[in-house]
Amino acid sequence: MARPKRSPRAPMLKLSFSPLDFMPTLSRSLGPMSKEQEREHATDGLIALLDAADRLPGAAGLRARSYELLGVAPGAAVVDVGC
């Protein structure tokens, strides 16, 4: 299987103040899971990771900048699907 030539980090997360890399956590959860307990554990771990990332310095600024980059007009409806 060919390896990607790019880093698995999301482009928005390459800012100097945000060394976030969710791929190690996401990669483990992408495989087939046959037991409900494994799914719950993976979900709990991912939620804990996202909560920790949200508490990092610069997280609020990164979120505000991402909203700014969307360029949504005032009063427009936006759906966050969590991807």
Report pLDDT digits (tens) over 33-63.
555 666 667 888 889 998 998 899 999 898 8
User: Cβ distance 30 to 57 under 8 Å?
Assistant: no
User: Cβ distance 19 to 7 under 8 Å?
Assistant: no
SS3 content of the chain, % helix, strand, coil (to 5): 55, 0, 45
As given in the structure block, the two tokens for residue 46 are 């991912």
Q: Where are the domains of the chain?
A: 18-70
pLDDT at 42: 80
pLDDT at 56: 92
Helix (H, G, I), strand (E, B) or coil at 5: coil
The amino acid at residue 81 is V
Mean pLDDT across the chain? 72
The tens digit of pLDDT for each residue in 24-34 reads 555 555 555 55
User: Cβ distance 58 to 64 under 8 Å?
Assistant: no
